Amino acid sequence: FLGYKFVRGAYMEKERNRAQEMNYPDPIQPTKQATDDNFNAAIDFVMKNLDKVSAFFGTHNEKSTELVMDKMREQNLPNDFDHIHFGQLYGMSDNITYYLGAKKYNAAKYLPYGPVKDVVPYLTRRAQENTSVAGQTGRELGLIEKELKRRKA
């Protein structure tokens, strides 16, 4: 089996620098929509090749997560199918991770580790990326507020 890890934007700076150093075109998609379309195409590829591949979808995007779950249902795959895994950055999109876990999908939180000079730019990009996901930030804040009220009761 070949394992794939799918992410949006996590390695943009490294990929751009590498392309410049090795003199090949910038591999980063020009728009958010192009990135989303490519991510969805990757989901389709994985789902058509599960006899050869495993995938880790590192995403905070609810629509992408739902797309993978829908495709798993279409193929009658169990939620805990060992070739499909999901992950979100610790402290972000907890609603997605908790839902996946409650439904017995393979879900994990991940923590970046390394020198501060490498980790801080990564975390900054993740925070920027997640505030740009339409409606999800407000929803997540609403879920946090609801949980805080529940705990006070």
Q: What is the CATH classification number for the domain harbouring 29?
A: 3.20.20.220
Per-residue pLDDT reduced to its tens digit, 6-31: 988 777 778 899 999 999 999 999 88
DSSP state, 52? T
pLDDT recorded at residue 135: 56
pLDDT confidence tier of residue 42, bands split at 50, 70 and 90: very high
Given phi > 0 = left and psi -120 to 50 = alpha, else beta, which region is 152? alpha
- Give the model's confidence band at 136: pLDDT under 50 very low, under 70 low, under 90 confident, else very high: low
Tell me the pLDDT band of 153, cut-offs 50, 70 and 90. confident
3-state secondary structure of 92: coil
Give the phi and the psi of residue 133 in degrees, each rounded to 5: -75, 110
Domain that residue 29 falls in: 2-152
The total number of structural domains in the chain stands at: 1
Report pTM.
0.78
